[in-house]
Structure 1
Amino acid sequence: MSRPIFEVIALTVPDAQAAQSGGADRLELVTDMAADGLTPTLAGFAAIRAAVDLPLRVMLRGRAGFEPGGLDELCAAAIALRAEGAEEFVFGFLDADGAPDLTAVRALAEAVDGCRWTFHRAIDHSADRSAVRAALAELPGLDTFLTAGSPAGVSHGREVLAGELAKAGEPGYRPQILIGGGLYAEHVPELRAAGFDAFHVGGAVRSEGWDSPVDAGKVARWRALIDG
């Protein structure tokens, strides 16, 4: 059995280097966590890409929330990042009724040109999770759902996550479940025992919230916990 995936949010080069030093497998690159993570600049992506050799999943979001905002600008950013060397992405949008905004999601899936991508926690805020999965099932490149199982976090979503894991391999349930959002260390042993194999953290590997950098020692402790 391959070891579980451990993904860490990075905003800066020092974040990325500390995450790699501590044993992260992959980084999610964002800026502006006050807005829950927006698209990094091209220069910011390039600097991190030059500093580490981990896979990088780059956020595509222009404003807080789950509406795309300027879709043309997001698609242009995706194309520019792709040209700069980005190979993996994170995005996901809902319409006013809580259904997937297929116009926006399809446009970005086309803009990233078949690259692998994560549909992020928009699924936790949707009106119908199963409908989201069904609507996205055939989109090229989608290989991961980042989810806590609930908008309130993992503590409230574990039963939902378990139900979705039980459907792994079925249409709409083939992408990997990447657990993140209110994920605490005490959740991990139970989740690993249940068969989950991908975990995502951000603030949990920082000493004083988003204003502090990633702590390599905290990353290493999470790595050891996830590996069991």
Structure 2
Amino acid sequence: MNAREKLEITCSKAWPPLVEDPLGEWRLRWADGFTGRANSALAVGDPGRPFGEALRAVCDFAHDRGITPMVQVVRDSPNERAIATSGWVPATGHGAGHEVVVLTAPLTPSPGVPGVTVGDEPVPGWWELALRPGEDSPAARQVLTSGKVGYGGATAEGVLAGVVRGALVDGWLHVGRLEVTPVFRRRGLASALMGAVRTWGVEHGADRAVLQVAEGNSGALALYAGLGYAPHHRYRYWVPAPGSCEDSTS
């Protein structure tokens, strides 16, 4: 397994589904529909069976749990080429973007900013900012609270104005759910939150950070580039073409 695939496994551990079944080295994941990362098959490594059988197993797993069959695979990898020749197509309808850039950066402590903290528990209002409309569910909260997690919050004018989530896995700090209320944007809060979670990661033994951003999110990509994050690789989501994903158990 190469470095890109190993990092995908690290990121998956930082965003754990409610159900995860092995398929050889692949991982079948379910979290009641909360995010593509937790409701797709992570197709890295060897599935331990012919590709056609592996993709049928992905279909069976998804259909049994009421989610759309989907695989997450490193872009331009042998697995992606095999999936592309097996009757699957890019998941261009995926709401969060079907192609994602994985960015990494070395970790160093950042000077603190008043009103910006990272703690072991979400502060009041954290969930309302971290979860988008329609996302709040027991599954979403379980995904976001599993493992060693730091909950960042930024206060401005007496209210919670921004949030971020950091998760520690295998020496990495995985950063996600960065959000600043629109009225408080362009005040440096996003950078301050990223600095605070970076310091939290260093204090807990991490030496590198990783995050995942939809390729079309140019604003976020520019922010992270300015904070020292560089592209490591990309991954894409694929779904079956019509008629190519039948249940072997039906």
Quickly name the TM-score band, shorter chain normalised.
0.3 to 0.5
Higher alpha-carbon Rg:
2
Larger relative helix fraction: 1
Larger relative strand fraction: 2
Considering Cα pairs closer than 8 Å and 6+ residues apart, tell me whether 1 or 2 has the greater RCO.
2
The TM-score with structure 2 as length reference comes to 0.32
The TM-score with structure 1 as length reference comes to 0.35
